[in-house]
Structure 1
Amino acid sequence: GLRVLAVAGGRFDGEDWPAIEHDFDFEFIGLLGLADPLRAGIPQAVTEAHNAGIRVVMITGDYPATALAIAAQAGLQPGPHGLLTGDELTHLSDTELQQRMGSVQICARIAPTQKLRIVQALKAAGGVVAMTGDGVNDAPALKAAHVGVAMGGRGTDVAREAASIVLLDDNFASIVGAVRLGRRIFDNLRKSMSYILAVHVPIAGMALLPVLLGWPTVLFPLHIAFLELVIDPACSMVFENEPAESDVMQRPPRDVTQPLFGGMALGLALLQGLGALAVVMLATAWGAGQLTEGGMRALAFAVLVFTNLALIFSNRSRAGSLWASLWVPNRTLWMVVTAALGLLGLVLYVPWLASLFLFDALPVSWLAGAAGLGLASVLWFELLKIIKCKMVP
């Protein structure tokens, strides 16, 4: 896998120098091997990419022996049909190249102009292709790929202009790190959207249903403004700061034709919201028979706040339990939860604030019951996650 140079030396003692260097009487000294070693994190990055369902293909202009040696260090295997050379590629039709690229992992002695054909063959097979390059001749392939990745350190201006992404450190491991970050961002967006939809179902329901059923009004604009003071930071800060889940790089790539939020995710979010609405309605009916109108309103509001917090915790993980999510670090989450509970205590038990919210003092035992009902509103969803984890190997 080394680039090898032969080294020789010679002396000349005459007056007339030879016309060319080969006329000197050289003496062989030895061989000089030049190594271009892989960066330390490349084998691990390749393994992580494979675990994430990302296929890595090495394309190089080096000789096959050098390419195989470097590929072995990186953890790449030639594939069942061996490596593909530029000479072989020249004699393949587009269809034949597409079939060959289905199993080839290493391409050697590839001319820059042939990289474009490789990218087009991979795209024709239905793959989402990211292509790296640094030279002027790489620009067509970088432009043709779904994601062109240029080298920011040694790359040419033409390559950087043609690419979608520029690597500042020229390190393949940074691409894998970007995939991990992208999956985390995508996960957190879906979690946030699920929470937004779920939490607004009980709020909308409690604003409309009591009026339709002839009950006293439960939610006034001030109550909804209070709830939004919890919802907005949860969406914009809590879920944004959620760390990546442990299996984020063990999942296959998602179908790019699927929407960001829809299908089962949309249905589960609606079910979460309806479950929370049912619990709040039951609490309201329960409190109406045993408390004053202000006490019933305070109970319903407290259940709504606790349900809101339970939905935040429940949506933190797509597979992990609510209990497990308590131990996942997120300082912003605990700031929001502490602020929400502190403000809830103030509006319930500070007389002049309670009068603004049209609350009567809520006994502590009823407040504890409200906390339990808020937790109960998401238990069915937690049970569903456990069943799903057991079904998936």
Structure 2
Amino acid sequence: MSLIKIDNLKKHYKVLNRREGLGGAFKDLFSGNYRTVKAVDDISLSIDSGEMVAFLGPNGAGKSTAIKMMVGALKPTSGDIIVDGFEPFKDRKDYVQNIGVVLGQRPLLWWDIPVIESFKILKKIYRVNDADYQRNIDLYHSITNLDGILNMPVRNLSLGQRSLCNILAVFLHNPKVIFLDEPTIGLDVAIKLKMRELIKALNKTYNTTVILTSHDVGDVESLCDRISLIDKGHILFDDSIENFHKYFNDKRTIRVKVDADSIDSSSAGEQGLLSSYAKSLESKINQTLRLENGVKTSLSPDGWLDVSFSEDETDVMSVLNCIMAEASVSDVKLNDTNMEELMRRSYESFSPS
């Protein structure tokens, strides 16, 4: 059964079309010209307990508005949100006892007192019993090194240490759902890795549902199994990361190191020989495989031949066999398109041309 159920959710705003100048501002006082901005426009989602979902989209896509409605900070224009049996805005007082929210580097802890004292205050606020509290503190010690941190005032911690403690604080009351908005922004690589490991460990231990919004593709790949892509208030893609790769990664590239001595050619120089071979190889593969869009070959500066093709038309082995039939190959690499490039393609594919 779904922990989060969203049906036909909408959030529309009336925005004044302001006129320029003092005269325009005066006219706006008496004859306002309004337009409707559809920040979130008819989205539906279903998220199960324990899932880690990346809620992604370009700036202005409607992510923040949707998240604010999920946490109960905004009232929807229409549609339904049910999270663990609660309507977030209507049942806000009881609902917030069962969620956690981390907004970037905004502190969840009290600035002038030690971290452990902040944890104790949160224990009282969320009415965590002594046994559960101690079990969580012991778990935190087993997952990450807290020696010397818990008894330090929050103001004396580094940015990475504060971020780490924010994550621990948000899990302290065993919430059913946690919303993480750019949790690793501004952190160095080592701290980012530690943060991701911590979130994964806590998710596994508590079976907590995690909704992540981030522009850091490393966070998405490391933490989430599913992507919901939103733009202009609409859900454009909602599926596994594996299917996201398949959907937007329509090109594969084989890199081959060819022994120049094995190529029968009168071209002068190894570089010229390989460049000439790249062009003839492209023609031969296209003639052999008879592909609609064909393969594209190029010679990279490091002397490798790059052969790009669509997996919808052929497979890796067919292309590789054609290459090896023409010359001696000393090394092969299969390049996968990185997640950052896939995100760029996804945003461009849904944008108006």
Measured against the shorter chain, the TM-score band is under 0.3
TM-score by length of 1: 0.24
Higher helix share: 1
TM-score by length of 2: 0.26
**Higher RCO (CA-CA < 8 Å; seq separation 6+):** 2
Higher strand share: 2
Q: Tell me which structure has the larger Cα radius of gyration.
A: 1
